[in-house]
Chains A and B, each alone.
Chain A
Amino acid sequence: MDNKPLEGLLVLEFSQFMAGPTAGLRLADLGARVVKIERPGAGEGGRQIAIKNIFVDESSLVFHTINRNKESYATNLKDENDLENIRKLIRQADVMTHNFRPGVMEKIGLDYESVRKINPKMIYATVTGYGNEGPWAKKPGQDLLVQSLSGLSWLSGCAQDGPVPFGLAVVDMYCATHLTQGILAALLKRARTQQGALVEVSLLESVLDMQFEMLTTHVNDGRKLPQRSTVRGAGHAYLSAPYGLYKTLDGYLALAMGNVAHIAETIGLSREPYQDASTWFSRRDEILQEFAKVLCQKTTCEWISRLETEGIWCGVVNDYHRFFEEQGFKESGMLQELTLQDGTQLTTTRSVYQIDGKRLYADKPAPKVGQHTASIVHDYLEN
């Protein structure tokens, strides 16, 4: 796409691992030039953090997923000459992000107050685990730990389970959206005031925001704790029947919110016991069980055609094999191919934003450590 919204902006990414670099990827896909500031040799810590122990072209597959469409500048932040160059880069950059623990940037003189003196228009954005103060300030800001501390793990699964974490780094990712929004809002303000800004987000505040609907319910319902259903497959601790996933003859069926009496009738039960809407929550578990007994008797496809005719919100429960074969997925164009520096082909996702009728693709692979040092020296430091 021509004229991407952030074309011309320079972002220095001191961030490592997931939340900060995911925000960096968003900014890159929106058109910014994103340069990872990495230590020579090992580079960003995330290069060594693998899932399923999968490495390609010397870095973890996860690193390649999060860091495509970026450049890398290798530098030793403990070396005064290197720091002088970093300060020169900072003078010309628009945004910088980091997720060092409190105190690290102060020590090397790149904290916000110092950077503001070098470049008063800088948008300086930080990610912490739990904020800069308080009893958890020094705890590791890691996705599963934040899920566990925030109450999130009591929302999925059923009552007889212990805590059930979300099986994705959902806090890191949500925090990345907040970081992106904070940076963009600050850039917008800068366009009017010519002033830089400090943007701060934390994993803990992000996961609390993620629960904002339920937390608002909690603080206004006498502080009751979430009551997960005892029926396996139930989909939401705070929603009434029939919300959940049901076993069928050949798989599973998802039923979202709907008129329980109407659904009962559609699947061959009597309407009568389900007429009173106020019982859809109080009798949630019974209704789920009564529906489960019927729904396991036919195939998913049979149920869906019957339910859809009645306008009832339902759907299939796919695994990846089935989902990626679906025509609807293929037409989304959500995948793109990258060729890594060593020639390896990778299939990954594109940017989630569509702007001016176009999908945003960017097939530039993640950089090697220091791959762009020379061109960045040429573009910003030789003057």
Chain B
Amino acid sequence: MEHKETTHTIGYTVYIFIWLGLVVLTGLTVVVAGVDLRQIAVAVAILIASIKSVLVMNYFMHLKYEPPLFKLMVSVLIVTFFIFIGLTFSDILFRY
């Protein structure tokens, strides 16, 4: 019976640097919110949030170090979500 053990450790330091990055990005998003960006304000906020999420997923959740299958599954999830929201907007963008 074969079994795989998860033994990859990436070190405390890496984690702490990622955390610092997340804190900085949080500060950035608060600061940027004070600037009137009109149309692209939402996009910028979501962009920064996405970068933070990618950091959490890849490093804290280890996705970067997992077999390719995991990354494939996550992309399936993201594509699915965009399909759902995108097709819903095909209704509301032409109605509101």
Q: Are A and B a genuine interacting pair, yes or no? A: no
List the interface of chain B (C-beta within 8 A of A). none
List the interface of chain A (C-beta within 8 A of B). none
